[in-house]
Amino acid sequence: MKRLIILAVLFLAVSSCYNDKYDKLYPNPTTTVTCDTSAIKYSQDILPIITANCTIAGGCHDAAGAATSGFDYSGSVTVLQGNAASGALVTDITWQPTRGHNNMPKNLPKLSDCDINKITRWVNEGAPNN
């Protein structure tokens, strides 16, 4: 009997050391981040991604970087639309191992899945200047 009591106390002591945080076990469903690609607009959705990742000061696709990259996305949407139409834009941002394409943004982490989905949707809709 004494042995059974000792085992029960040990079991309770060990099992009560559970140290997880409630919010990690049961995340609040209202804080879930969603990616809305239902109505993509160049000016609201695509341009901020391009500005933050491609045409930043010293970037590959600003006025100064265009001398090396050959593409200036900071002046007009037309150059970006050309790369979208050729398939190079989506290939580059999705880091597909295709000959002749580069992983973009260069020297930066891969774009988020949401940003890639937004750009891909915009390209699939014909890359409108809206």
Average pLDDT in the 59-72 region? 84
In this predicted structure, the answer to whether residue 40 has a pLDDT above a threshold of 90 is yes
Task: Look over the chain and give the mean of its residue pLDDT values, rounded to a whole number.
Answer: 83
Q: How confident is the model at residue 129 (pLDDT cuts 50, 70, 90)?
A: very high
> What pTM value is reported for the model?
0.71
CA 64 to chain centre: 26
In this predicted structure, the answer to whether residue 79 has a pLDDT above a threshold of 60 is yes
Q: Under a CB-based contact definition with an 8 Å cutoff, are residues 14 and 99 in contact?
A: no
Confidence at residue 24, expressed as pLDDT on a 0 to 100 scale: 64
Residues 38 and 60: their CA atoms lie apart, in Å, by 29
Q: What residues does each domain of the chain span?
A: 2-29, 42-124
Average pLDDT in the 54-70 region? 82
In this predicted structure, the answer to whether residue 111 has a pLDDT above a threshold of 70 is yes
pLDDT, greater one: 103 or 9: 103
Residues 115 and 46: their CA atoms lie apart, in Å, by 8
Average pLDDT in the 70-77 region? 86
Of 17-21, 41-45, 82-86, 87-91, the range with the lowest mean pLDDT is 17-21
Q: What are phi and psi of 64, to 5 degrees?
A: -75, -40
Q: How confident is the model at residue 50 (pLDDT cuts 50, 70, 90)?
A: very high
In this predicted structure, the answer to whether residue 17 has a pLDDT above a threshold of 80 is no
